[in-house]
Structure 1
Amino acid sequence: MTAVSTPVAKFGAVCRMVKIEHSVFALPFAYLGQFIAAGGFPSIKPFLLLTVAMVAIRSVAMAFNRVIDLPFDAKNPRTQQRPLVTGEISPVQTWVFIAVMALIFVIACFFINELSFQLAPVALFVAVFYSLLKRFTWLCHFWLGAVLALSPLAGWISIDPQFTVAAVLFAWGILFWVAGFDIIYSCQDADYDRSVGLNSVPAHFGLESALVISSFCHVVTSIMFLMGGWAAGLGWPYFAVWAVVSGVLYWEHTIISADDMSRVNMAFFTMNGFISVMLFIGALAGIFF
């Protein structure tokens, strides 16, 4: 077991535990909802509060997932270098971190507006419950998608406290987008999941069927993003970017197969990080043109 004593090392271990770099998936979609609702650049207060809230709740979800899954991660060769497994961070420290991040999230929601504050407990429940679902159902990927699907809704209500058709369509798009790429990512653990009784689409249906289901999810994603842009009244730059994003989603499924998962990390992080950032840029340009 590795002990981490210096504050800098501890901070680095925490960042690795929650995979802070994966914030690129959720934050652009939260900003997408916020900027569209504002009709352009929002004021600095809701922008900063939304950023704090999103980072906080994502940290809660990731840390809760890591501490709950510790017995499984310790046995899985792919996850044995995670900070909780190596001892760089203790379970007690992780629970304290979860409590602090949850409190920061609720406080940020309080200062955003009344609806955000009222929905904060619901968002926290949705975020943490995902970690338990893999023990019961292969639908866990879609619940994870629902967690990130809160992003455009949160961004929208931070400016306009109501649920709109455009925000809901983007949310559905994100739900299927995340479910699709999480199914791809979980293909790496299909054999392990079956051996320990965990549920996932690849473990339940096999790799070939899982990739078909993932492809279907991303077709739905493309349709929902198209309809979301139309409902939001975005201009042509958004739809140009939408076409590129749809092409990237298609390409993502051409570089992996049931017989060759060697490029799964490229499909999971590189391409999907590109998708979230580009769609936000496209939406921003579509507001003004």
Structure 2
Amino acid sequence: MAQPSKLRMMLEMIRFSHTIFALPFAALATVMAIKLPLPEGTAVRVRPLDLVAILICMVAARSVAMAFNRLADQAIDAGNPRTAGRHLPAGLLGRHEVTIFAILCAVGFLVGCALFLPNWLPLAASIPVLMFLCGYSLAKRFTAAAHLWLGVALSLAPICVWAALRGSAVLADPSDLLPAVILAAAVALWVTGFDIIYACQDEAFDRSEGLQSVPARFGAKGAFRIAAACHAGMVLVLLVLPSVAPALGLGWIYYAAIGSIAALLVYEHCLVRPDDLDRINQAFFQVNSIVSVGLLVAAGIDCWMG
């Protein structure tokens, strides 16, 4: 069998296909930012270049964060039987190669932010955003809130998109950012919940290595309860969005989607239990991809029809 190319292994290492978890929320923020009138009542005029820049920034930022995560966790991954086969600890990729890849992606992110000029907000925020995204990889060394850190990191997507497309409105009236903050809060709770569930696989290893995680601190049963609370919070936050921004026109399609998302999250918690994590990949990857894409489609349709 032919050896996979370095690029293919690099994309596998950063789980490039999982970009689907965050990208729909950036796309939904784009739709909302276009639909919602500016303070003076005019519509947002989005250049095709802005849409390209959003895609570049989303892909590049996530790639930097994942590559840095693999570099930071190489020794930890090597000691964990579940992750010892990953590309860096298995020797399929070298640190030098992954470092260069991360630097190139970081440059790509900065270029993407510069494409929004004359709106200077994205470029001004680019370095702090990258630092926060990469900081997640170090968080589990000192705080069990690392899952929340990851959730907030992904939740920056709708906020950054909003600031990039409605920069003048945000600077004139910071409350203009509120719909994006509500969407971001839902993303943060959602990601925090499913990352806690995923981390249950490493409960014993994290304890033995002194790593911080919710399962290591509270046990699998406690972790599942906290994850369930996060997911319930996500649903409640999404229900608030139409009242915060009535001009979006979110109606019965959106509410039907929220009901479906709630059912999917209940299904996710039924797929895995504290003493049975065999179907965790199905719960983590399949269900969550449906949640993110489904919300984008339903809310997007409602925005345009409303």
Length-normalised TM-score, structure 1: 0.94
Q: State the percentage of identical aligned residues.
A: 37
Q: How does 1:108-127 map to 2 (within 5 A)?
A: 108-112=112-116, 113-127=119-133
What's the CA shift for 1:250? Answer: 1.6
Structure possessing the higher radius of gyration over alpha carbons: 2
Q: 1:235 aligns with which of 248, 251, 254?
A: 251
Give the direction of change, closer, same or farther, for the CA distance of 1:42–1:278 in structure 2 (3 Å limit). Answer: farther
Q: How does 1:162-241 map to 2 (within 5 A)?
A: 162=170, 164-233=177-246, 234-241=250-257
Equivalent in the alignment of 2:151: 145
Equivalent in the alignment of 2:94: 90
Equivalent in the alignment of 1:246: 262
Residue identity in the other structure for 1:29? F
Q: For structure 1, which runs of at least 5 residues remain unmatched after alignment? A: none
- Secondary structure (helix, strand or coil) at the match of 1:81 reads coil
Residue identity in the other structure for 1:115? L
Equivalent in the alignment of 2:300: 284
Residue identity in the other structure for 2:22? A
Q: For structure 2, which runs of at least 5 residues remain unmatched after alignment? A: 37-44, 171-175
**Runs of 4+ more than 6 Å apart:** none
Q: 1:70 aligns with which of 54, 74, 96?
A: 74
Residue identity in the other structure for 2:143? T
| Cα distance in 2 between the residues matched to 1:230 and 1:238 | 12
Equivalent in the alignment of 2:104: 100
| Cα distance in 2 between the residues matched to 1:164 and 1:137 | 29
| Cα distance in 1 between the residues matched to 2:6 and 2:17 | 17
What is the RMSD of the two structures over their aligned residues, measured on CA atoms? 1.6
Q: 2:85 aligns with which of 81, 84, 97?
A: 81
Conserved in 1, the CA contact under 8 Å of 2:163 and 2:177?
Answer: no
- Secondary structure (helix, strand or coil) at the match of 1:206 reads helix
Residue identity in the other structure for 1:81? G
Residue identity in the other structure for 1:251? Y
Conserved in 1, the CA contact under 8 Å of 2:88 and 2:95?
Answer: yes
| Cα distance in 2 between the residues matched to 1:44 and 1:78 | 43
- Secondary structure (helix, strand or coil) at the match of 2:270 reads coil
Conserved in 2, the CA contact under 8 Å of 1:235 and 1:285?
Answer: no
| Cα distance in 1 between the residues matched to 2:181 and 2:150 | 16
| Cα distance in 1 between the residues matched to 2:182 and 2:290 | 20
| Cα distance in 2 between the residues matched to 1:58 and 1:20 | 9
